[in-house]
Structure formats: structure tokens, C-alpha cells
């Protein structure tokens, strides 16, 4: 039912968006290929703990999160990836791993990688492994009010020190 909740939220704010249905896919690379969306325009939500508090980091699917950079941007002393058991209950209406990048709807801060600001349009999981929502990045930023920072890289995931 996450799709319904998200669509209602967007409709209530008079946001224009496109729903994209695709065959079942779990990785962002698979989704980009199946849905014919460039990977750089596909936003993925990654859950992290910043000083023990859960937060959402949103970055292009083609990039990896750099935990030390995100921690620095957030002013956090400790940062680590959240595990599925830690965040699953925070998104009860979403399929695990398909959370939309609207942490504001789940009472958590949202950090967006500055690379996404370069995109006119972004697409993201709508709460299931078979649906995406595509919308203007400017509308997304206006609704979510994320903190913008540079915390992604093309290389392998960085570990927190």
C-alpha cells in the first residue's frame, strides 16, 4: 500500500509524476535496464545510523555511498549502514529494500547527494519491486527538503572508520 500512500501525498501537493510498472527486479541495475531509466537518474534510498539515529541517504543508483563523507556532512561522530532488521519495521507498507526516498514521511532526516541535483527528472522505487515513480527533482526537493551534500563515489563502498 506504499504506492497508494505516496501517490496520495504527491496528488495532495499537486505534483506531476509518472508511474512506471516493470517486471520484478531487486537491484537498481536490473530496474534501470528493465524500466529504461538511465542509472544516473534512478535515485536509491540507503538507510544509515548517524550518531545512533536513523537517517536516509539518497544517491544515484550508479554511485556508492561514502560513509565518512556523509558523516562529515551530517556532523556525525559515528556512522554505519542500517541493517534490514533495524529498518524493516519503519516502512511496514513497503517491500524490504523498495522504500521511496521520502524519509520525511517516516520521521527521519534525508540527505541527498549533490549529484542528483544535476538531474531534471528522477525515478525511484515506489514501495514495491515492480513500480517506480518518475518526477521532477525540483518537486522532490521542495517536498522533502533534504540536506544536500557530496557523499557518493563511483568506486566501491567506503567503510566508516
- For 103-143, the pLDDT digits (tens) are 999 999 999 999 999 999 999 999 988 999 999 999 999 99
User: What radius of gyration do the chain's Cα atoms show?
Assistant: 15
Whether residue 159 is contained in a domain is answered as: no
Q: Which parts of 75-119 fold into alpha helices (H)? A: 84-87
CATH number (domain holding residue 49): 3.90.960.10
% pLDDT > 70, the chain: 94
User: What pLDDT is stored for residue 157 in this prediction?
Assistant: 54
Confidence of residue 12 (pLDDT cuts 50, 70, 90): very high
14 within some domain: yes
79 lies in some domain? yes
Could you tell me the three cell numbers for 127? 514501495
Q: What is the pLDDT of residue 159?
A: 47
Q: How far apart are CA 4 and CA 108, in angstroms?
A: 20
Residue 160 lies in a domain: no
Q: Which domain holds residue 117?
A: 2-153
Q: Are strands 42-50 and 53-60 parallel, antiparallel or unpaired?
A: antiparallel
Q: How many residues does the chain have?
A: 161
161 belongs to a structural domain: no
Unique residue bearing C-alpha cell 541535483:
117
pLDDT in tens, 53-73: 999 999 999 999 999 999 999
Given pLDDT bands bounded at 50, 70 and 90, which one contains residue 155? low
Say how many domains are in the chain: 1
Would you say residue 36 lies in a domain?
A: yes
pLDDT of 93 reads 87
Amino acid at each position: 500500500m506504499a504506492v497508494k500512500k505516496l501517490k496520495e501525498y504527491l496528488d495532495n501537493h499537486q505534483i506531476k509524476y509518472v508511474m512506471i510498472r516493470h517486471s520484478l527486479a531487486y537491484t537498481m541495475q536490473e530496474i534501470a535496464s528493465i524500466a529504461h531509466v538511465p542509472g544516473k537518474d534512478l535515485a536509491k534510498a540507503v538507510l544509515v545510523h548517524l550518531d545512533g539515529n536513523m537517517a536516509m541517504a539518497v544517491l544515484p543508483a550508479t554511485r556508492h555511498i561514502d560513509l565518512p563523507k556523509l558523516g562529515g556532512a551530517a556532523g556525525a561522530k559515528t556512522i554505519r549502514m542500517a541493517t534490514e532488521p533495524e529498518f524493516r519495521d519503519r516502512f511496514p507498507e513497503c517491500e524490504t529494500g523498495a522504500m521511496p526516498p521520502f524519509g520525511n514521511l517516516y520521521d527521519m532526516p534525508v540527505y541527498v547527494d549533490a549529484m542528483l541535483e544535476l538531474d531534471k527528472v528522477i525515478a525511484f522505487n515506489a514501495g514495491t519491486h515492480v513500480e517506480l515513480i518518475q518526477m521532477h527533482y525540483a518537486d522532490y526537493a521542495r517536498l522533502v527538503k533534504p540536506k544536500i551534500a557530496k557523499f557518493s563515489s563511483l568506486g566501491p563502498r567506503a567503510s566508516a572508520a
